[in-house]
Amino acid sequence: NLSRWGLSSSSECSFCLGPESLLHVVAGCQCYLDRFTWRHNSILNFLANTLQTVNGSALYADVPGFKSPSIITGDTYRPDLLLSLSNGSLYVVELTVGYETNLENNVNRKKAKYKELVKQLDENFNE
């Protein structure tokens, strides 16, 4: 925080004028949404490009240049990435790039969101 370091007399966010905190700056400022999306997509693109080299796998990623995960999941669920391995394993990856104190909440939220999809895929994937 600039005010905490003595670099500013205000504790307001310089972009949206909301209360500035580390959580706000890293993951909450509405004026920074494009930057948060860019950070998320950059990490997802790195993961997709890295995982596409796994031999005997099929990769579906929600980034340009890859098949969309909705080919398998439909439009109800939109995971960021699916990795299907030749041994029958299917990995559902939902990327969350946020503030570390929200990590457990984000994990629980994503698990709950995809619980039914994982169950359906487990029952139907290799039939």
Residue boundaries of the structural domains of the chain = 34-125
Most confident listed range (23-32, 54-63, 115-124): 54-63
Instruction: Give the whole-angstrom CA distance, residue 80 versus residue 76.
Output: 13
Mean pLDDT of 26-32: 77
Tell me the percentage of the chain whose pLDDT exceeds 70. Answer: 87
What number is the average pLDDT over the span 1-27? 71
Rounded to two decimals, the pTM is 0.68
pLDDT of residue 31: 81
The pLDDT assigned to 49 comes to: 94
